[in-house]
Homo-oligomer: A and B are copies of this chain.
Amino acid sequence: LENRKKKPDSAPPTPRKEAYHHGDLRQTLIDAARRLIEDKGPDGFSVAEAARAAGVSTAAPYRHFKDRTALLAAVALDGKLRLAKDFDSASAPFVPGSLDAISAIGGAYVLFATRQPGLFRLMFAGVDSTSEELIEAGERCFGHLLGHLAVRTGQAPEADMVRQLGFPLWTFVHGAAFLSIDGMLDVVAGGPQADAMIRDVTARLLGPSDLDG
């Protein structure tokens, strides 16, 4: 038994932390849960398995999360923050408000979903959407798109017209994301041309602009 306690020192399973007190178990659990959810989906996931993956006892997660749902909510929130970051880096190289920038956001959305299907599902269906910070994080993602549309139209991001332009765009990439996850995008579209389709539809829904050079 004492052998088990020594093990983390001689050959740590998680190399960064080795103490009895973990240091940042909360985030480690979120990461472990995310990885499990990524390939098994929100329902294949269990608290016990996440704990195992993090190298702690099955009771340990309950020091940091009220229950299973709370852990899932934390993973969903974490996912939305990651998505917002993806938006940032995807659109950064392009002229704000341009077709290039806006399609890049759409492409990033679909790519995020494709790479992490389980997480994507969790973010949109997995948890009670009543959590305030979860909604807020979602709005921040959508706000990215609205920001570009505001620049493009010369209106405020909160303007009705901007939202009404943005919503169909979001709807479209949301559909593309789910079809892609479920293996129907390449099949039916007849090739790996998802990005081209996104760009084409985006252009048609936006209409022309000087910003597109």
Residues of A with Cβ closer than 8 Å to B? 43, 121, 124-125, 129, 142, 160, 163-164, 167-168, 170-179, 181-185, 188-190, 197, 200-201, 204-205
* Alpha-carbon distance A142/B188, docked complex (angstroms): 10
Complex contact B163–A168 (CB within 8 A): no
Complex contact A163–B188 (CB within 8 A): yes
- By Cβ-Cβ distance, the 3 closest A-B pairs, closest first, are A175-B175, A43-B43, A174-B175
Chain multiplicity (copies): 2
Complex contact A168–B142 (CB within 8 A): no
Complex contact B175–A176 (CB within 8 A): yes
18 A-B pairs (CB sep. < 8 Å): A43-B43, A121-B125, A124-B178, A124-B182, A125-B182, A168-B172, A168-B197, A168-B200, A170-B175, A170-B188, A172-B201, A173-B175, A174-B175, A174-B179, A175-B175, A175-B177, A201-B205, A204-B204
Complex contact A171–B163 (CB within 8 A): no
Interface of chain A, helix or strand or loop or mixed?
Answer: helix
Closest to A42 in B: B43
Which listed residue (B168, B178, B183) contacts A178, Cβ 8 A? B178
Q: State the Cβ distance, A72 to closest chain B Cβ, in Å.
A: 13
Q: State the Cβ distance, A73 to closest chain B Cβ, in Å.
A: 15
